[in-house]
Structure 1
């Protein structure tokens, strides 16, 4: 498959910024976990709310890196079959992928928006002692997925354009 696609600088910067935020949150999670373990061993008491905070941080960390991984091509991809196909067939598959990505992106963004609005309206919180609001994690999830789908669709459109520009793509 053609991988010489480049994303616009603003899209790349947003994806990288989300990845950096994920890294900082991961560092915070590591420090919180170390502090909790030390507190348990030294004082025989856990830090209150560590499980709630760690759970919400894990969600954010996992999804904030999606767009950067897609932009850099660090995701898992299997192209054994497609690389053997002709340019026309790959063009058709690219269009199908683009349409599926747009449909899935719109569906997930709409669904996650509904979950966020519902969570905010109901004042949803975690079940543990701290009763932390869940909407920040849901907002991060929505934003991360939206950026991921923008990057994925953009890359697929650029891949389509690159396939069309191939000399064998024009002659078939």
Structure 2
């Protein structure tokens, strides 16, 4: 159990670091580009492309974190009418369905990344290979699928945790 706790902490800290670093780099790059453009009439070449890549890194590194903690945006129209004894079963079904969907999306992105590298698709200005970014998206999607499956297993074993939105509303 101690190993799983450490693994969970390592994954969480690593993904948080990637997301936070990407966001910070986006902030610095935007600031430098605006200053260069307005004060020196010399913007940073390829700033938009770098921002797009950093945005992908930030969003998709946060994706598994949101999935693992079950902090998605959810609509709880029927939660108050759902019998309490079936909540774990409902959460199991939702998590398994989502794990399958995320796994399919990750596999498709993996294929697209390989094709992108084969076709040598790159950004226009800086020539950043887009396949590597797509591989990152596929890996993060796969990780999100595994973590969602893990959540489903926790609900199956009866030890699942309710999403924050459900516990806050008394569901």
The RMSD of aligned alpha carbons is 2.3
Question: What's the counterpart of residue 21 of structure 2?
Answer: 24
User: Hey, what's the Cα distance between the residues in 2 that align with 1:88 and 1:121?
Assistant: 51
8 Å CA contact retained: 2:107, 2:138: no
Question: What's the counterpart of residue 70 of structure 1?
Answer: 67
How many angstroms does 1:14 deviate by? 1.2
Q: Which one of the candidate residues 86, 105, 109 is aligned to 1:108? A: 105
Gaps of 5+ in 1: 1-6, 165-172
**1:22-46 deviation line (CA, Å, top 9, x unaligned):** 1011111111111111111221021
8 Å CA contact retained: 2:99, 2:148: no
Question: What's the counterpart of residue 166 of structure 2?
Answer: none
Gaps of 5+ in 2: 161-171
8 Å CA contact retained: 1:15, 1:147: no
Q: Which one of the candidate residues 154, 158, 161 is aligned to 1:162? A: 158
Rg comparison, structure with higher value: 1
TM-score normalized with structure 1 length:
0.79
TM-score normalized with structure 2 length:
0.79
8 Å CA contact retained: 1:22, 1:65: yes
8 Å CA contact retained: 2:95, 2:151: no
